[in-house]
Amino acid sequence: MNLFCVGLSHHTANVETRERFAGHAQSECILRDAGCTEVLLLATCNRVEVYGASEKRVSTEEVAHCLARKIEKDAHQYALPFYRYEGEKCIQHLFRVASGLDSMVVGESEILGQAKKAYESARQSGAVGPYMHRLFQRAFRVAKQVRTHTEITRGSVSVGSVAVDLAQRIFGQLDNCKVLVLGAGETSERTARALASRGVRDLRVSNRSNDRARELAERVGGQAVPFEKWPQQCRGVDILIASTSSEVPLLTPANLAPMLSDRADRPLFVIDIAVPRDVDPTVNEMEGVYLYDIDALRSVADQSLAMRRQQIASAEAIIAEHVADLLEKISGELNRASRMSGHPPVADSSLRV
């Protein structure tokens, strides 16, 4: 039995190429016709991969043809970015993919859900059998173990999610937090939406243009506040998102101090995503105020990413253990199949076209 993976990903192909090979449900049927006894198609925005088990060797070109939405005259065009893993390397690759090690953002967990969905879809269509079942069930187990035993998913890696993460580190539950959004820009909307998705119910939006403030308030389920009244609103809020186009800082220690006078035991989290900045950086030195501007948020995101990368070795060790264990269990069958087909074993994970 040949166990193989043929695919392309953000590592090997640009988005245009990936779109051409995005795959569709029928691909699995076509691949079965091509000689695969079991086949599973994993298609996400960052990768299109076919995992298959076959008695005879199915070439990369055959897989590519099945994946292409329309057969182009020059097959070389789409044959180039494909990689191929077989046997042990195929198992290792799937485990790395499921664990988020092969993702564009290391440690992202969305891929696990996508892999589960792909497996479920293939299972329902009857495209997967005992090999794929064993392989993918083990991959899900490995991914879970990697997430539990390493810090690979720790921290947020985008500006919006870092802001929300920090808010939770300050306030815990966000249900009772009051948020004021100054400025109706795209980034502030994204951040406000992210906060609302984590439980924030009291959202207020203030903008020089009252109409835009109302529009944004409607979109995020908040209420609009006249721009002249934002300093009064500031007294009651826990989180302030500033993203106006003001040329001078709106918030300085001098005008913030009176607002803080009656809230000694409540912290204030200020997210300044405006350029030029809306908040004087010395505000961060004030008691109970935590100011993060766009650079600070990016820096935290970078730190998280660096921390995740440090965990890759630990994750690889877990994966290696499972690869060896799974291989031991199915190696007899794979070796028999390899001997019968007469194909040389794949020695490394380098790309094969």
When asked if residue 170 is in the footprint of another protein (CB under 8 A), the reply is yes
Using the minimum distance from each CB to another protein, give the nearer residue, 266 or 336: 266
Distance CA 227, CA 212 (A): 11
Distance CA 157, CA 108 (A): 9
| 217 neighbors 205 (Cβ within 8 angstroms) | yes
- Tell me, what amino acid is at 3? L
When asked if residue 109 is in the footprint of another protein (CB under 8 A), the reply is no
Nearest to 293, CA basis, from 313, 276, 310, 317: 276
State the number of binding residues for another protein (CB under 8 A). 31
Segment contacting another protein by CB under 8 A, of 9-17, 37-45, 243-251, 262-270: 262-270
47-54/36-43 β-pairing = antiparallel
| 100 neighbors 153 (Cβ within 8 angstroms) | yes
Distance CA 103, CA 325 (A): 24
Give the dihedral sign, CA 84/87/92/95.
positive
Distance CA 263, CA 298 (A): 29
Nearest-approach distance from CB 277 to another protein, in angstroms? 15
Distance CA 173, CA 115 (A): 31
Using the minimum distance from each CB to another protein, give the nearer residue, 149 or 336: 149
Using the minimum distance from each CB to another protein, give the nearer residue, 172 or 258: 172
When asked if residue 154 is in the footprint of another protein (CB under 8 A), the reply is yes
Using the minimum distance from each CB to another protein, give the nearer residue, 10 or 263: 263
Cis omega (within 30 of 0) for bond into 344: no
| 263 neighbors 202 (Cβ within 8 angstroms) | no
Nearest-approach distance from CB 284 to another protein, in angstroms? 7
Count other C-beta atoms under 10 Å from residue 159's C-beta: 20
Nearest to 179, CA basis, from 161, 211, 208, 206: 206
Nearest to 209, CA basis, from 250, 251, 245: 245
Segment contacting another protein by CB under 8 A, of 37-45, 219-227, 242-250, 298-306: 298-306
When asked if residue 288 is in the footprint of another protein (CB under 8 A), the reply is yes
> Is 66 known to be catalytic?
no
Binding mask 308-347 for another protein (x = CB under 8 A): --xx--x---------------------------------
Distance CA 81, CA 12 (A): 6
Nearest-approach distance from CB 154 to another protein, in angstroms? 5
Among 35, 231, 253, 267, binds another protein (CB under 8 A): 267
Residue with tokens 């690889």: 316
Using the minimum distance from each CB to another protein, give the nearer residue, 61 or 108: 108
Segment contacting another protein by CB under 8 A, of 57-65, 100-108, 227-235, 286-294: 286-294
Nearest-approach distance from CB 276 to another protein, in angstroms? 19
Query: Three-state DSSP class for 39?
Result: strand
Nearest-approach distance from CB 38 to another protein, in angstroms? 36
Using the minimum distance from each CB to another protein, give the nearer residue, 12 or 284: 284
Instruction: Pick out residues in 112-151 that bind another protein (CB under 8 A).
Output: 148-151
- Tell me, what amino acid is at 219? R
Active-site entry in 5, 29, 36, 45: 45
Binding mask 172-201 for another protein (x = CB under 8 A): x-----------------------------
Catalytic residue IDs: 45
Using CB under 8 A, list all residues that contact another protein: 148-151, 154-155, 166, 168-172, 262-265, 267, 284, 287-288, 290, 292, 296, 299-300, 303-304, 307, 310-311, 314
